[in-house]
């Protein structure tokens, strides 16, 4: 079944999401990340690719592929918990090409402490001195175009793992990189925003991702030994940004309308169910709405936890009194409705399986 991304206006990252990273069992933790958390990141990525197409008139997947951490593929050889979570773009690669072809990546990254930011990593894997020198020269030559655009989005000039900061002109000098300890990683980053992350902030991060995309594209082109179009892409971004300022009043009204808070039920589980129990209910119900059967993974629905017997009628937070519903079904369920949708769904499936007379 094809995956349908969540609509960008429905995406939110709640403070409670941080609790996913401390689920003790690694399999449950990874399953929860992949089936409940990742669909929102995929929706964010899908909408950002559309923004890149709008700005630059190109389709990133013509030359790029999606990168995930942790892997969420059903047939992955292994799923490793790296701590951080990310989704983004990197160069395509086959075994006939140098490893530098996939050395660069641009991602939305989530830290386990609950921070979301954009990171461009030109050397996720060592591409060799020729490749690294070419990227260093690229950055120095394009600095006058890059720095004003990066300044718009408060993008850090460069940061080296373990907190060593250098300016953009010196960030990728071969002699500097040779002096770093093994395991270093150099990135160019946006600010990191703590959970909860609101719609306005998500839009800011999307623009930062799009602004950093030309440098990713140029790095991939260099890795393939092809000419890059960095200067043209940066000019396209400058023109798009100028146009967006001219349309700012209309755009601001649109953002305001899309950012209006969704009316949640009075006794919404976001506020009254402890996070560990929340994840246990979703995992038990296989991250699927017990009413309509849609899942966060395949249909991109937002999942919530509902009380079978409402708390206003004396219902408890015991797991047997909780069920998974998508946001639409939960909104349509009255607080006088005590239907056990999990049982109704099982009985419906069993009825379908009975031999017909």
Q: What is the pLDDT of residues 340-352, one digit of tens each?
A: 665 555 444 444 4
The better pLDDT of the pair 16, 186 is held by: 16
Task: Output phi, psi for 250, to 5 deg.
Answer: -65, -40
The better pLDDT of the pair 236, 143 is held by: 236
Closest CA to 74 of 44, 31, 20: 31
The pTM is what?
A: 0.75
**pLDDT over threshold 90, residue 106:** yes
Closest CA to 42 of 133, 119, 108: 108
The residue from 258, 287, 312 where one domain ends is 258
Q: What is the CATH number of the domain that holds 248?
A: 3.30.930.20
Per the structure, the count of domains in the chain is: 2
The residue from 210, 230, 258 where one domain ends is 258
280 and 238 part of one domain: no
The residue from 258, 286, 312 where one domain ends is 258
Decide if 1 is inside a domain.
no
For 144-200, the DSSP string reads: HHHHHHHHHTT--S-EETTTEE--GGGTT-HHHHHTSPTT--EEEEPPPEESSB-HH
218 and 273 part of one domain: no
65 and 203 part of one domain: yes
237 and 147 part of one domain: yes
No. of helices (H) and no. of strands (E), the chain: 12, 10
133 and 244 part of one domain: yes
Decide if 58 is inside a domain.
yes
Closest CA to 40 of 18, 7, 85, 64: 7
Closest CA to 221 of 55, 63, 61: 63
Domain that holds residue 224: 8-258
233 and 279 part of one domain: no
Cis peptide before 196 (omega within 30 of 0): yes
- Residues 177-190: tens digit of each pLDDT: 555 555 455 678 88
302 and 249 part of one domain: no
**Rounded alpha-carbon distances, angstroms, from residue 110 to 70, 123, 339:** 11, 19, 37
Q: State the angle between helix axes of 230-246 and 199-223 in degrees (0 to 180), rounded to the nearest 10.
A: 160
């Amino acid at each position: 079944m094809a995956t349908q991304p969540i609509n960008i206006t429905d995406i939110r990252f709640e403070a409670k999401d941080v609790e996913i990273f401390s689920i003790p069992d690694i399999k449950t933790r990874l399953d929860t990340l992949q089936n409940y958390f990742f669909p929102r990141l995929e929706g964010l990525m899908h909408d950002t690719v559309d923004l890149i197409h709008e700005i630059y008139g190109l389709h990133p997947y013509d030359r790029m592929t999606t990168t995930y951490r942790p892997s969420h593929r059903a047939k992955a050889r292994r799923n490793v918990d790296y701590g951080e979570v990310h989704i983004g773009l990197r160069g395509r690669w086959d075994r006939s090409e140098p490893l530098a072809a996939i050395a660069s990546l641009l991602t939305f990254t989530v830290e386990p402490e609950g921070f979301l930011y954009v990171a461009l990593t030109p050397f996720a894997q060592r591409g060799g001195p020729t490749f690294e020198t070419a990227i260093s020269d690229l950055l120095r030559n394009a600095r006058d175009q890059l720095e004003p655009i990066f300044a718009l989005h408060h993008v850090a000039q460069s940061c080296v793992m373990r907190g060593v900061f250098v300016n953009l002109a010196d960030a990728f000098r071969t002699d500097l990189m040779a002096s770093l300890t093994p395991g270093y990683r150099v990135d160019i980053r946006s600010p990191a925003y703590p959970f909860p992350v609101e719609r306005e902030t998500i839009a800011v991060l999307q623009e930062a991702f799009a602004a950093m995309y030309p440098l990713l594209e140029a790095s991939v082109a260099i890795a393939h030994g092809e000419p890059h179009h960095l200067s043209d892409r940066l000019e396209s971004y400058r023109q798009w940004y100028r146009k967006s300022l001219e349309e700012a009043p209309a755009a601001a009204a649109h953002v305001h309308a899309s950012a209006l808070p969704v009316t949640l039920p009075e006794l919404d589980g976001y506020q009254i169910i402890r996070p560990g129990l929340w994840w246990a209910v979703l995992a038990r119900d296989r991250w699927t709405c017990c009413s309509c059967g849609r899942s966060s993974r395949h249909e991109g629905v937002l999942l919530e936890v509902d009380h079978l017997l409402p708390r206003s009628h004396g219902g408890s937070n015991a797991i047997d009194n909780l069920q998974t519903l998508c946001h639409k079904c939960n909104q349509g369920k009255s607080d006088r409705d005590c239907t056990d949708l999990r049982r109704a769904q099982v009985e419906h499936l069993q009825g379908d399986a009975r031999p017909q007379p």
